[in-house]
Amino acid sequence: MTQTKAVIADDEKQLRVHLKSLLSELWPDLIICGEARNGQEALELIEKHRPDIAFLDIKMPGLSGMEVAKKVTESCWVVFITAYDKYAVEAFENEAIDYLLKPITHERLEKAIRRLQKQIAASIKPPSNMSDIIEQAITRLYNKEKSGHLRWLKAQHGDGIRLIPVDDVSYFKASDKYTLVLTKEGELLIKKSVKELADELDPAQFWRIHRGTIVNAHYITKVSRSLTGRGVVKLKDRPELLTVSRTYIHIFKQM
Amino acid sequence: MEYVLVKITRRHVFGSLSYTVLFDTFIALVLTGIKFGGGFVENFIISQCIGISICSLALTGLYLFRPANPLFMLVLVMIAIIIGTVVGWTLGSMAAGLSVSLFDQRFMPVMILGIMFGSIISYFFSYRERISQSEALIQEERIKRLANEKEMAETNLRFLQAQIEPHFLFNTLSNILSLLDSDLERGKSMLADFIHYLRMALPKTRGETTTIGQEIEMIQAYLNIFKVRMGDRLRYRLDIPDAIKGFPFPPMLIQPLVENAIRHGLEPKIEGGELFIRGEKKGDRIRLEIIDTGMGFNEIEDTGVGLSNVRERLQSLYGGIGRLILEENRPSGLKAIIEVPHDAN
């Protein structure tokens, strides 16, 4: 019987040292054929050495441990390592994939090793739908971790690029190819269109009142009707009145 | 126009009647001006009678039927205008000592004028009502929001102070655990840094304000920990002149920016990078810069949470004078600048 081989991957050197010493103690026959410092290295080492097992830290620069596991074409058992990942732990709770929490303890690692040894001794192959399982886990994680709304704008300022929090913007106005951004500190031009902004900004805070205008609801001081019956909005610290088009007047009617 | 008049209150009655009297006077003046009718006194009496009749009828109708349907409301007001004009004209003519007859040749123009002015005034009232309603609502929303914001800022501060990021906590402990086996001395010194950091970062063990020097001391402990963890991938420099170290400074304003630079800037970058923290007194302000050469800024990711918090706290502590500026660093990474007035504390 050939000897069992493993690759370990963690961006923190001391943690690789730790895992290696624990493994040599608990599974002396295991050959560590490679140590990776980031996701790319892990992927290369796995493709090159075709190990039976990969111990992958989830949070690594380059590719995350999960992305590595998804990309691996060689069949190998994966054990994820994470410091703290409530969702990741949930995601793998009932799967064929094991995970270890940092700091790794003797007891928990021993349990993982026994499980791996059993599977390898019985010549059980890792699940062939591994990348699907991981893909699903990543999607679940992704959905939970991203709020998704645009919070900052990149805008030219002097000779540099400044990041403007959207909370500082009183309104956006379409202007030819660009969008004019009016903040308390001045006016800026950005390339994002009003339509794109409408999709990306938090709709609870940013209200589209016209095809070419989005206002920050926090800055509205007055809503009224002009003599022609159109809705007009007045914003804090701004002299101009903004027109509400008929398509969007319903926002104010709910009030 | 969907618009629901909730309730006719005393305010509506007095408001509408006094505006009506004003409008009627104006109408009488205009009519006299264009030589309509029999002089100002007559026009005044008749237009007051018509206006008050219409207004009373409309208010009574709205009060009795409480129309929720705008069409019904419109019909109601139109009926009030027509009946009001007839009644008002009759009463007014009697009061002015004129003969009253609906077949009078003067009646048609009066009817037309009644409908015209009646509609204008009714529109004015409904417009005014709608504005005051939406204004009241916006005002209410604003107050709610402000109360909410204040509360949130306070919670955020408590939360931020109490929060030790779990990845940081467990990764640091893992490192210490490992070093206790392989390099006892380094393990001990890392543990000492960690204890130092925790003591300063946990809320109960620190006061409301600290000094720049103390904050930097905490950052130093934090960076020592990351230096062990990241090795060559992290290079950092601090340039804080002794002259500003004694300045009072709000706690936990610099730390989130350093944490952000490491967590979202340098840690995810394969080759790592540099972190440079510098401070200076510039006129009447203290300016601190936290510069990294990391991944730069992602517009949507939740990286903004810690930064937004710093901004909000600067805003609530110093109003417009304290601020956080974020710029792209060249050739890569992010530059965070905090400016506060140095005599504000």
Interface test with chain B among A151, A188, A209, A235, by most B beta carbons within 10 Å: A151
> Residue B208's pLDDT band (boundaries 50, 70, 90)?
low
What's the pLDDT score for residue B98?
78
Q: Taking CB atoms and an 8 Å cutoff, what residues of chain A touch B150?
A: none
Q: What is the homologous superfamily of the domain B166-341 according to CATH?
A: Histidine kinase-like ATPase, C-terminal domain (3.30.565.10)
What average pLDDT does the segment B24-45 reach? 86
Distance of CA A130 to CAs A9, A17, A59, B240, Å?
A: 19, 28, 19, 51
Average pLDDT in chain B: 84
Residue showing tokens 């054929």: A33
Alpha-carbon distances, residue B99 vs A243, B38, B43, B46, B170 (angstroms): 51, 13, 15, 13, 99
| Residue B160 distance to chain A (closest CA, Å) | 18
Interface mutation vs chain A, best among B120, B270, B335, most A CBs within 10 Å:
B270
Q: CA of A75 to nearest chain B CA: how many angstroms apart?
A: 26
Distance from CA of A60 to the nearest CA of B (A): 7
More confident residue, B38 or A174: A174
**B185: pLDDT strictly greater than 60:** yes
Residue B158's pLDDT is 57
- Cα radius of gyration rounded to whole Å, chain B: 37
Query: What does A43-101 look like in DSSP terms, one character per residue?
Result: HHHHHHH--SEEEEESS-SSS-HHHHHHH--S--EEEEEESS-HHHHHHHTTSS-EEEE
Q: The domain at A5-145 falls in which architecture?
A: 3-Layer(aba) Sandwich (3.40)
SS (H, E, C) chain B: CCCCCCCCCHHHHHHHHHHHHHHHHHHHHHHHHCCCCCCHHHHHHHHHHHHHHHHHHHHHHHHHHCCCCHHHHHHHHHHHHHHHHHHHHHHHHHHCCCCCCCCCCCHHHHHHHHHHHHHHHHHHHHHHHHHHHHHHHHHHHHHHHHHHHHHHHHHHHHHHHHCCCHHHHHHHHHHHHHHHHHCHHHHHHHHHHHHHHHHHHCHHHCCCCEEHHHHHHHHHHHHHHHHHHHHHHEEEEEECCHHHHCCEECCCCHHHHHHHHHHHHHCCCCCCEEEEEEEEEECCEEEEEEEECCCCCCCCCCCHHHHHHHHHHHHHHHCCCCEEEEEECCCCCEEEEEEEECCCC
Residue of A nearest to B145 (CA): A218
Q: Where along chain B do its domains lie? A: 10-152, 166-341
Q: DSSP H helical segments within A146-238, as ranges?
A: 194-200
- Nearest-CA residue of chain B relative to A222? B135
The average pLDDT across B318-331 equals 88
Q: Which CATH number fits domain A152-253: 3.30.420.10, 2.40.50.1020, 2.40.50.140, 2.60.40.420?
A: 2.40.50.1020
Rounded Cα distance, A175 and A178, in Å: 5
Phi, psi angle pair for A25, to nearest 5°: -80, -45
* Per-residue confidence (pLDDT) for residue B345, from 0 to 100: 45
**CB-based contact B344:B323 (threshold 8 Å):** no
| Nearest alpha-carbon partner for B178 in B168, B192, B166, B190 | B190
Residue B324: how many CB atoms within 10 A of its CB? 22
Percent of chain B with pLDDT over 70: 86
Q: B304 vs A165: CB contact, 8 Å cut-off?
A: yes
Interface of A with B in 228-247 (CB under 8 A): none
* pLDDT of B8 higher than 70: no
Minimal C-alpha gap between A145 and chain B (Å): 8
Select the more confidently predicted residue: A244 or B276. Answer: B276
The answer to whether the predicted template modeling score (pTM) of the entire model surpasses 0.80 is no
Nearest to B215 by CA among B166, B248, B169, B263: B248
Nearest to residue B222, comparing CAs of B238, B210, B207, B246?
Answer: B238
What pLDDT does A150 receive?
85
Residue B4: the pLDDT is 43
The beta-carbon contacts of A238-247 under 8 Å, at least 24 apart in sequence, are A238/A170, A238/A171, A238/A182, A242/A171, A242/A209, A242/A210, A242/A213, A242/A215, A243/A209, A243/A210, A243/A213, A244/A209, A244/A210, A245/A209, A245/A210, A245/A211, A247/A211
Question: Nearest CB to A59: which of B167, B175, B233?
Answer: B167
Q: Which residues of A touch B328 (CB under 8 A)?
A: 154, 160-163
Which chain B residues touch A160 with a CB distance below 8 Å? 327-328, 330
Burial of B73 (0-12, 13-18, 19+ CB in 10 A): buried
The pLDDT value recorded for residue A48 is 94
Q: Phi/psi class of residue B54: alpha, beta or left (left: φ > 0; alpha: ψ in -120 to 50)?
A: alpha
Q: What is the largest CA-CA distance in chain A?
A: 90
Greatest distance between any 2 Cα atoms in chain B: 116
Of B161-170, B179-188, B207-216, B332-341, minimum mean pLDDT range: B161-170
* Residues B270, A154: C-beta atoms closer than 8 Å: no
Residue range(s) of every CATH 3.40.50.2300 domain in chain A: 5-145
Task: Compute the distance between CA of residue B116 and CA of residue A68 in angstroms, rounded to an integer.
Answer: 77
For B63-94, the pLDDT digits (tens) are 888 776 778 888 888 898 889 888 888 888 88
Supply the pLDDT for residue A46. 95
Ranges of CATH 2.40.50.1020 domains, chain A: 152-253
Indicate if the pLDDT at residue B102 is higher than 70: no
Report the chain A residue with the minimal C-alpha distance to residue B335.
Answer: A162
Residue to substitute from A17, A60, A102, interface B, most B β-carbons within 10 A: A102
In the predicted model, is pLDDT for residue B20 greater than 60? yes
| pLDDT of residue B226 exceeding 60 | yes
A161 contacts B174? CB cut-off 8 A: no
Closest chain A residue to the Cα of B131, Cα to Cα: A224
Facing A103 at nearest CB: one of B127, B177, B308: B177
- pLDDT tens, position by position, B129-148: 777 777 777 777 777 777 76
Window from A155-159, B20-24, B125-129 with minimum mean pLDDT = B125-129
- A158 in contact with B at a CB cutoff of 8 Å? no
pLDDT of B160 above 60: no
Q: What is the pLDDT along chain A (255 residues), one digit of tens a residue?
A: 578 999 999 999 999 999 999 999 999 999 999 999 999 999 999 999 999 999 999 999 999 998 999 888 778 899 999 988 766 666 676 667 888 999 999 999 999 999 999 999 988 888 777 788 888 877 776 665 555 788 888 888 888 888 888 988 999 999 888 899 999 778 888 989 999 999 999 888 999 999 999 999 999 888 877 766 678 888 988 888 898 888 888 777 655
